[in-house]
Every structure is written in structure tokens, then in C-alpha cells.
């Protein structure tokens, strides 16, 4: 993986109780100059509205820093949720972390 990229592993449940922890992990990578942060959601089974809001905020922050946030490994449930609220059109989404490293070049 290129040095300008980092992977942050998502929690099993991405909810109001742990959103600050995820936000801090991603922000710390951006602050270290990572142009691309891949959020690996392959273990994530559930995302609540706070989790979605956090992803939107982080996507905005990554773009403002000249970088890119890529979501990888979405379960069918999480993918359907993003599609339902039309966030699948906002995020760069990849099937796997490996695919996300290639997708990041198009950000």
C-alpha cells in the first residue's frame, strides 16, 4: 500500500457510542498527511444515523484536506442503507481494501 494511504478498520457496530473513536482514527491519518484514508467496513454489521453522519463529515474533511475517503468491504445491509439515503452517490466505494487502493487514484 502506498505511503500516502492508510486503512482504518470500522467497528462491528458503527453507532453513536463509538463514532468519536472512528472520527479520531481517520482524522489522525489525515493530519499525518495521508491523501487517502480507506475505511474498512467489512466487519461492520450495523450503522446508525450517527455513524452515517460521521462518515459524511469525514468525507468532507478528507476532501477539504485535498484527500479522499474510500469505503471498502460493505456488507449488503450497509450498502443498502447507503443506497437508500443516496449516499452511495457521495462516497467512493470499493468491494475490498485492495480494490480501494486502486479506486483511490480516481478520487
Residue 99 has pLDDT above 60, yes or no: yes
The 10s digit of each residue's pLDDT in 48-77 is: 999 999 999 999 999 998 999 999 999 999
**In the structure, what pLDDT confidence band is assigned to residue 105 with cuts at 50, 70 and 90?**
confident
Residues above pLDDT 90, as percent of the chain: 87
Average pLDDT (22-42) is 95
Write down the residue that cell numbers 446508525 correspond to: 48
State the chain's mean pLDDT as an integer.
93
Nearest to 74 by CA among 37, 103, 45, 104: 45
Average pLDDT (15-22) is 96
Amino acid at each position: 500500500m502506498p505511503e500516502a494511504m492508510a486503512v482504518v478498520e470500522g467497528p462491528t457496530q458503527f453507532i453513536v457510542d463509538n463514532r468519536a473513536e472512528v472520527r479520531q482514527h481517520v482524522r489522525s491519518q489525515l493530519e499525518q498527511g495521508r491523501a487517502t484514508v480507506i475505511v474498512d467496513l467489512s466487519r461492520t454489521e450495523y450503522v446508525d444515523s450517527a455513524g452515517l453522519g460521521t462518515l459524511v463529515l469525514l468525507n468532507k474533511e478528507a476532501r477539504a484536506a485535498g484527500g479522499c475517503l474510500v469505503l471498502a468491504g460493505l456488507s449488503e445491509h450497509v450498502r443498502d442503507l447507503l443506497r437508500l439515503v443516496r449516499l452511495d452517490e457521495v462516497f467512493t466505494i470499493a468491494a475490498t481494501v485492495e480494490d480501494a487502493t486502486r479506486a483511490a487514484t480516481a478520487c
